[in-house]
């Protein structure tokens, strides 16, 4: 027995396609808002204006930190944060490490947040990222967190603490605790989330 579907104003297949299209647009818009910085980054990453000197030498004082960050020393709001960074700068990387003999990225973020902000973070970078309120990179402030996904999984597996002018401090696998630049392709290409920790 044939059913009469001629009187339907909106066929089922049309509705399902509309829902699918709306869902796809939602995902695209959502992803765009999370990575607003990437357009300018891709446009400018090879220009001279974004190419900065390699940050390798350990800063000895706040003046050295301000030079690395390209800011006036008076713009370093939390002096304790920068003294902490100077003390830990160059500490070698060690997976699972939490001491000055060796430390990993989330271990470093944990100790920094505990000592400087009196906040206990989760132990892994992925879990830390789950408790972060997203921000656009242009709105990042000193002490905010930046997250990366190295590899094809798309899962957060690295974390750093934002400072100034696209610079952030983190425990890198190759150089240990160091200040790096989001404008460097190695980091900019893999930045997937950033924002402030929801205390």
Kindly list the catalytic residues. 105, 158, 170
Residues 122, 106: Cα–Cα separation, whole Å: 8
Helices (H) and strands (E) in the chain, counts: 7, 8
Bin 47: left if φ > 0, else alpha if -120 < ψ < 50, else beta.
beta
Phi and psi angles of residue 79, each rounded to the nearest 5 degrees, phi first = -60, -35
Residues 138, 199: Cα–Cα separation, whole Å: 22
The alpha-helical segments, DSSP class H, found in 98-191 are: 105-117, 125-129, 185-188
Question: DSSP 3-state assignment of 170?
Answer: strand
Residues 29, 173: Cα–Cα separation, whole Å: 33
Reading the block at residue 172, the tokens are 């890198």
């Amino acid at each position: 027995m044939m059913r009469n579907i001629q009187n339907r104003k909106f066929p089922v297949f049309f509705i399902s396609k509309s829902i699918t299209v709306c869902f796809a647009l939602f995902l695209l818009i959502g992803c765009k808002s999370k990575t607003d910085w990437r357009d300018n980054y891709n446009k400018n990453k090879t220009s001279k204006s974004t190419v900065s000197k390699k940050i390798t030498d350990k800063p000895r004082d706040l003046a050295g930190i301000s030079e690395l960050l390209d800011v006036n020393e008076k713009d370093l709001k939390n002096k304790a944060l920068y003294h902490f960074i100077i003390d830990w700068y160059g500490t070698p990387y060690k997976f699972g490490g939490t001491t000055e003999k060796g430390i990993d990225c989330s271990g470093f973020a944990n100790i920094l947040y505990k000592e400087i902000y009196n906040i206990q973070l989760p132990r892994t970078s992925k879990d830390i990222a789950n408790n972060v309120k997203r921000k656009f990179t242009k709105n990042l402030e000193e002490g905010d967190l930046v997250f990366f996904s190295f590899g094809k999984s798309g899962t957060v597996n690295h974390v750093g603490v934002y400072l100034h002018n696209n610079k952030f401090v983190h425990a890198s696998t190759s150089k240990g605790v160091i200040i790096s630049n989001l404008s460097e392709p190695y980091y900019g290409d893999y930045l997937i989330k950033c924002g402030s920790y929801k205390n």
